[in-house]
Amino acid sequence: MKILHQVVETVEGLEFLDKIAEPYAAVVGKVVKPRFLRNLLSGTYVGHPLHPVLTDLPIGAWSMAALLDIVGSEATEPAADLLVVAGIVLAVPTAASGANDWSDTQGKERRLGLVHALANSTAVSLYTASLIARKRGNRGVGKALGLAGFGVLMAGGYLGGHLAYSKGVNVNRTAWREGPAEWQAVLAEAELAEGNLRKVELDGVSVVLYRDGGQIHALDSVCSHMGGPLEEGTVSEGCVTCPWHGSTFRLSDGGIVRGPASNPQPVYEARVTDGGIEVRRSPDS
C-alpha cells in the first residue's frame, strides 16, 4: 500500500519529534539500566525480543472485546468489559518492553517509534474512558470509545509492524551470517596481540578475534542486537561489551551476560597452524 508507506515516510521526516524523543529516550535508558530489568524487558531471558510477543496480548483482548461489542448481546457484556480491563492491564508490560526497545533506536526509527507509542497510549486512554462509561451504564458511549480505541490501536500497530518488518528494528543482525564450515586462514599469528580485539574478514562474514593467554576466541563481529561493531567494544572478565548499547557476550560461547541483545553472538572455532590463525564456523553456534 503505497499511501501507507508515504504516511510513514512523512512521520520519519518530522525532525521536530527529536526534541521530544531524545530526552524521553534518555530517561527510559536510565530507568532500564539495572541489568535484571534490562534483560527482562529486552527478552534476553527468553531468547527473543519480548515486545512483539507481549503486543499480542492487549491486541487480542481488545479485538475480542470489539467483536463482542459489535455482534454480542446483553449476555456477553460482562465478557466484553472483562476483555477491556485485561487489555488495559496487559498494555502496561507491553509498553514497558516497547519503551526499552525504543530507547536504543536513533533517527527515523526513533521518530516512528515515538508516534507508535503515542498512538498506543491514546488507545489505552480511549479504552480507559470506555471502561468508565461502561461502569456508569453508558454502554453506547463505552462501545464507541472502545471502537475508537481499536482504530487507533490498529494505526499504532501498523507503525510497530513497519519498525520490525520493514526497518528491521530488533531483528537478529546475525540471522543470515554463516561463516565457512571449513578452516580458513585469516591472519598471521604474530598479528594478533594479546588482549586486543581484531576484526578479520572471511567468506562473506566478519569475525572478531581475541587472544587470551593460550586461547584465541572468535565471535561474529556484528552485534546481534542492532549491528554494533564488536571490534570497537571492550573486554572484561572473559566477555566483550558492544559499544552501542552495552550488550555483553561471553567470549567462550557467545552467550549473553547483559542485554539488550536477546540472541547470542555466533561463535567460531579458531586454531593456530603453521604460524597462522585459522577460523571456521563452530558446529555449536
Closest contact distance (angstroms) between CB of 259 and ligand FES is 8
43 interacts with ligand FES by CB under 6 A: no
Candidates 2-10, 13-21, 244-252, 262-270: pick the segment binding ligand FES (CB under 6 A).
Answer: 244-252
Choose, by CB under 6 A, the member of 38, 111, 198, 245 that binds ligand FES: 245
Closest contact distance (angstroms) between CB of 37 and ligand FES is 16
In the complex with ligand FES, the residue whose CB is nearer, 124 or 223, is 223
Q: How far apart are the first and last CA of the chain?
A: 39
Closest contact distance (angstroms) between CB of 173 and ligand FES is 8
Cβ neighbourhood burial of 147 (10 Å; 0-12, 13-18, 19+): middle
256 interacts with ligand FES by CB under 6 A: no
Residue with cell 596481540: 193
Cα–Cα distance, 251 to 196 (Å, whole number): 13
242 interacts with ligand FES by CB under 6 A: yes
226 interacts with ligand FES by CB under 6 A: yes
Helix (H, G, I), strand (E, B) or coil at 198: strand
Closest contact distance (angstroms) between CB of 228 and ligand FES is 3
Q: Which of residues 166-205 bind ligand FES (CB under 6 A)?
A: none
Closest contact distance (angstroms) between CB of 131 and ligand FES is 38
In the complex with ligand FES, the residue whose CB is nearer, 12 or 104, is 104
247 interacts with ligand FES by CB under 6 A: yes
Q: What does the block give as the cell for 196?
A: 586486543
Encode 105-120: b = buried (16+ Cβ within 10 Å), e = exposed.
Answer: beebbbbbbbbbbebb
In the complex with ligand FES, the residue whose CB is nearer, 69 or 104, is 104
In the complex with ligand FES, the residue whose CB is nearer, 157 or 229, is 229
- Who contacts 248 (Cβ-Cβ below 8 Å, separation ≥6)? 239, 240, 241, 242, 256, 257, 258
Q: Which of residues 88-107 bind ligand FES (CB under 6 A)?
A: 104
Q: Beta strands 184-188 and 197-202: pairing type? A: unpaired
Cα–Cα distance, 216 to 222 (Å, whole number): 18
Q: What does the block give as the cell for 174?
A: 546475525
Candidates 21-29, 77-85, 190-198, 238-246: pick the segment binding ligand FES (CB under 6 A).
Answer: 238-246
225 interacts with ligand FES by CB under 6 A: yes
How many other C-beta atoms lie within 10 A of the C-beta of residue 173?
Answer: 18
Q: Which neighbouring-strand residues pair with 198?
A: 209
Choose, by CB under 6 A, the member of 83, 223, 256, 277 that binds ligand FES: 223
What one-character DSSP code corresponds to residue 178?
-
How many other C-beta atoms lie within 10 A of the C-beta of residue 205?
Answer: 20
Element (H, E) at 197: strand 197-202
Element (H, E) at 212: strand 205-212
In the complex with ligand FES, the residue whose CB is nearer, 68 or 256, is 256
Closest contact distance (angstroms) between CB of 42 and ligand FES is 10
134 interacts with ligand FES by CB under 6 A: no
Q: Which residues bind ligand FES (CB under 6 A)?
A: 104, 223, 225-228, 242, 244-247, 260-261
